[in-house]
Structure 1
Amino acid sequence: MLYAVGGQDLNSSVVSCDCLAHRFGNAADQPGRAPVYSTDLTDVEWREIRPLLPVPGWLEGRGGRPEGYCHRQMLDAVFYVLDNGIKWRAIPVDFPAWDRVYAFFRRRREAGLLLMMINVTAGNDTDRQAATDMLPALRDRFLTITGLWADGGYTGTLITGALATLYLAVTVIKRSDDVSGFVVLPRRWVVERTFGRLMRSRRLARDYERRPGTSEAMILWSMTILMTRRLAARAPV
């Protein structure tokens, strides 16, 4: 179930934000916050990302206490940590308490909002090994995907197996031996460009995380920042 709900009575007569924690939780009891950082969501960006957020369990009747902190402020805090590469405990005081922000992040660690899939593995895993584990899960989640582009590290039985069992056509983009110097290769530059954009999030510049799942979540959140800004730029005013 996604974030868009309606028809219920609001929990507070004074609602300064349209997030679910304000509308149906106890976030209205907390002080408001004015956007001051470059990572803070604009109103247009918030409108784009709000419907994609998962509905909290307490609102779906699965138990738990109604949330007491604004979801938009929580997103701003997570984006600040990711973009500036700081510790959770170093979150500025105008955000909610750091442990509440981390709890929000932890609950949504598995929710990739605007990215299909990411898989973080040990350094001694080869590209083919990682893809062998990843492609079946990708197929289960996205049935309409039929083609993939890859570099030379994904050759061998992976290509034939993906086509025979998963009905995925993997096209390997190879560099020509007749070309010297830097040459932009079709489709491969998309991956390199994405790596460059991810490195703008300073939390990803080094591997600070203890769990691979947390590293994957940081990548997902970084791409969420990028895609939210793109969607907002295209949205009608």
Structure 2
Amino acid sequence: MTDAQSVVRDALPEPAWMEGRGGQPEGYCHRQMLDAVFYVTDNGIEWRAMPVDFPAWDRVYAFFRRWRKQGLAGELHDRLRGRVRTTEGRDREPSAGIIDSQSVKAAASVPAVSRGYDGGKKVNGRRRHVITDSLGLLLMVWVTAADVTDRQAARAMLPVLRTRFRKITLVWADGGYTGCLVTWAKGKLQLTLQIVKRSDDMTGFVVLPRRWLVERSLGWLMRSRRLVRDFEASRFQRGGSAASSPAARASASSTRAITRRSNTASATPSPARIRSASAWRASTAARAAVSRSSSKPITDATGYLPIAENELNVRTLPRRHRHHA
């Protein structure tokens, strides 16, 4: 994590000992721990093969396992997703989603109780079922055996999605979610499941509306070597789980991608931020004009003269404050 991406530290959950709720102070910085988890996920190495530049591998694994069980990793991911959506001019809580799945091969260490054979993709392993928002940001991950169909996983995922995101009323899906699932979601969950199909007269590669967003998100996940093949030996039910170690790996990879996107979004303002900045400049110019016409300078609510950021001269600051400008 670079210095520019480390601005996500204010989105990290606060430890109990820092809020006076007891507990022993932590011995390692959260940035070091997150860097170690991201390194393992991106490079696909074993925990014991972690370089000496990071903390001890057992401490990092204990940190990752504790955050996964207590839901802190998901909380960090949700905060960063809300920040990116706000930067892009969207509401923090989405109102629509896209659902899809991806089958990956499983290593020999994966137990037979949590793996299966996908006859359509000819893959023996596990399947990741993901739901993203209209920006392609991850909302939910559900890892099952590869022989679990899309409709079976959607029956378990959609009620949880409806509970976590009350504003979502529309979900786009492919042809694998057709059938009675559409009427069940409409009647039980008041959720519209819209199927985006590929027409029969299409030939070659065609970008389908809405579905390309979740396909791009699945491609982002495959950039992490730890997710190209499922190595997690944790046991869970064949029906899947959102709190399993494979799902936490996918969330960690998505968190890494969101930190990069958050850094890019802060460097490239959205149209909403540009309009807000233009209104601020116009207000500052009007106040400066009134200040020049009057004998007494007009200050803002803090008591300081309004000044544009590009008008700040570092050489006018005291020497001890120049490195903060």
TM-score, normalised to structure 1's length? Answer: 0.78
In the alignment, the residues of structure 2 paired with residue 116 and residue 146 of structure 1 have an alpha-carbon distance, to the nearest angstrom, of 14
2:128 maps to 1:169: no
Which amino acid is 1:187 matched to?
A: R
Match of 2:260 among 190, 207, 229: 229
In structure 2, the residue matched to 1:12 is none
1:137-157 per-residue CA deviation (whole Å, 9 max, x = no partner) reads 111111111111101111112
In structure 1, the residue matched to 2:224 is 201
Match of 2:144 among 93, 99, 121: 121
2:178 maps to 1:155: yes
**Please, which moves more after superposition, 109-118 or 99-108?**
109-118
In the alignment, the residues of structure 2 paired with residue 201 and residue 236 of structure 1 have an alpha-carbon distance, to the nearest angstrom, of 25
In the alignment, the residues of structure 1 paired with residue 261 and residue 144 of structure 2 have an alpha-carbon distance, to the nearest angstrom, of 29
2:94 maps to 1:135: no
In the alignment, the residues of structure 2 paired with residue 186 and residue 73 of structure 1 have an alpha-carbon distance, to the nearest angstrom, of 40
Query: 1:44–1:235: 8 Å Cα contact kept in structure 2?
Result: no
Which amino acid is 2:258 matched to?
A: M
Which amino acid is 2:149 matched to?
A: T
In structure 2, the residue matched to 1:78 is 37
In the alignment, the residues of structure 2 paired with residue 185 and residue 208 of structure 1 have an alpha-carbon distance, to the nearest angstrom, of 32
Shift of 1:210: 1.7
2:244 maps to 1:220: no
Match of 2:2 among 42, 46, 65: 42
Which amino acid is 1:169 matched to?
A: T
In structure 2, the residue matched to 1:97 is 56
In percent, how many aligned pairs have the same letter?
62
Shift of 1:168: 1.3
Match of 1:148, SS state, is: strand
For structure 1, the residue ranges without an aligned partner over 5 or more in a row are: 1-40
1:98-139 per-residue CA deviation (whole Å, 9 max, x = no partner) reads 111111111111332143211001122110010100111111
* Count of equivalent residues: 196
1:61-95 per-residue CA deviation (whole Å, 9 max, x = no partner) reads 55532110010011111110000000011111011
Shift of 1:55: 2.2
**Please, which moves more after superposition, 211-220 or 131-140?**
211-220
Match of 2:4, SS state, is: helix
2:209 maps to 1:178: no
In structure 2, the residue matched to 1:88 is 47
Match of 1:93, SS state, is: coil
In structure 2, the residue matched to 1:10 is none
In the alignment, the residues of structure 2 paired with residue 136 and residue 60 of structure 1 have an alpha-carbon distance, to the nearest angstrom, of 34
Matches within 5 A, 1:56-75: 56-60=15-19, 63-75=22-34
Match of 2:141, SS state, is: coil
In the alignment, the residues of structure 1 paired with residue 45 and residue 225 of structure 2 have an alpha-carbon distance, to the nearest angstrom, of 8
Which stretches of structure 1, 4 residues or more, deviate above 6 A after TM superposition?
none
Query: 1:151–1:173: 8 Å Cα contact kept in structure 2?
Result: yes
In structure 1, the residue matched to 2:273 is none
TM-score, normalised to structure 2's length? Answer: 0.57
2:215 maps to 1:192: yes
Shift of 1:187: 1.3
In the alignment, the residues of structure 2 paired with residue 116 and residue 62 of structure 1 have an alpha-carbon distance, to the nearest angstrom, of 30
CA RMSD of aligned residues (A): 1.7
Shift of 1:229: 0.5
In the alignment, the residues of structure 1 paired with residue 184 and residue 264 of structure 2 have an alpha-carbon distance, to the nearest angstrom, of 40
In the alignment, the residues of structure 2 paired with residue 191 and residue 74 of structure 1 have an alpha-carbon distance, to the nearest angstrom, of 29
Match of 1:54, SS state, is: coil
In the alignment, the residues of structure 1 paired with residue 180 and residue 50 of structure 2 have an alpha-carbon distance, to the nearest angstrom, of 47
**Please, which moves more after superposition, 165-174 or 71-80?**
165-174
